[in-house]
Every structure is written in structure tokens, then in C-alpha cells.
Amino acid sequence: VLEDERMARRIERGDAPADALEPHPLVKATVVGLGVAQARLARDLGRLDEAVPAFAQAIAFEPRSPANHRNLGDAYQRLGRADEARRSWSQAVRLCQEALRVDPRSTETLGQLAVYEAKLGRHASAESHVRQALDLRRPRASRPVRYPDEGDPMRRCRVQGDRRRTRHPPSVQAVCDLH
């Protein structure tokens, strides 16, 4: 409590550190999480006029989150604002590409990238990233592993009732569901 009072006096005097008013990371994460949940609920209820500003606020808190840009793009698309949707999805693609420069073996990021590219109509690139993610997910073995759909990794996604679909991470499965 004493430390809080001292900081409050420094803030009043104007000599507090620049980040003195920054929320604690856990508080920030909670606020962002609640904001995104509220925005998704508004979107799902068809109240897109509420969802767009809520997703924009989530981006203000976490500008480097591709999912936040995707959510905003989805809301714009449902409002018929195609140019704004494409800009949001394009930003999500750029953020995924930056993340892959740091961790090129991230199957989750590859899957997310594929989803965003598919939304932009870049299906060949999306499929290429799905193939990369699937290749990275294959088990390592001392002998080659034979998959029944070796020539076409997307085939298993197109086969109705194929229980192996659940082996895909959710972001990769979303692209499979588009095909």
C-alpha cells in the first residue's frame, strides 16, 4: 500500500516512469480476453455494430495478434465491408509470416497462415502451408512412414467420415474444412 501511495504522488507530480500507468500483464490479458469474448458473442448474435469496435479494441491491446486481425476481418466481411476485411486478413498474414521467421516449424502458425490466405483467396499458398504443417506433424521414425494418401495430403480432409481428421491442429483443420 505504501508503494502504491508513493507511485500515486509521483504520478501527480509528473515524475513517474513512463510505464507507471501500464496495467499488469495479467490484468491486460484478462481485459483483452474478456473483450475478445464479448466481441465474439456480439458477432455470433449478429450484433456486428458492437463486435467491430470490440475487436478493434482487442487489436489496440494486442496489435501483434493475428487472431484479433482475423476476427475483425470476419466481422467486416459479415457487414459487407470487403476491402476492410481484406486489409485485416492481410495484416494477419503479415504477422504470421513474421512469426514464422522466428519459428519456422510452428505448425499452429502455419495453420493460421493457411486460414488467412484462404480467406484472401490465395488457395494455392494456403494449401502449401497446410502441407508444410502436416509434414512437420508426421511422426519421426527410423523407417519411412507410409500414409494411404501420400500423394495428396489434403485428400484425408475431403474424405467424409475420416476419423483421422482429428489429428490436425484446429487451425489446419479449418483450412481442410474449406476444401
Distance CA 107, CA 59 (A): 23
Cell numbers that stand for 161 in this block? 467420415
DSSP single-letter state for residue 146? P
Supply the pLDDT for residue 161.
42
Average pLDDT in the chain: 78
To 5 degrees, how large is the angle CA 85–CA 55–CA 77? 25
pLDDT tens-digit map of 149-178: 445 545 444 443 444 444 555 555 666 555
**C-alpha atoms less than 13 angstroms from C-alpha of 56 in its C-beta half-sphere:** 10
Residue 108: partners with Cβ closer than 8 Å, 6 or more residues away: 169, 171
Residue 153, C-alpha cell as written in the block: 495430403
Task: State the cell numbers at 28.
Answer: 491486460
Amino acid type, 178: L
CA dihedral 166, 172, 175, 179 (to 10 degrees): -50
Residue-wise pLDDT tens digits, 29-73 = 666 677 788 888 888 888 888 889 988 988 888 899 999 999 999
Q: What percent of the chain clears pLDDT 90, i.e. is strictly above it? A: 40
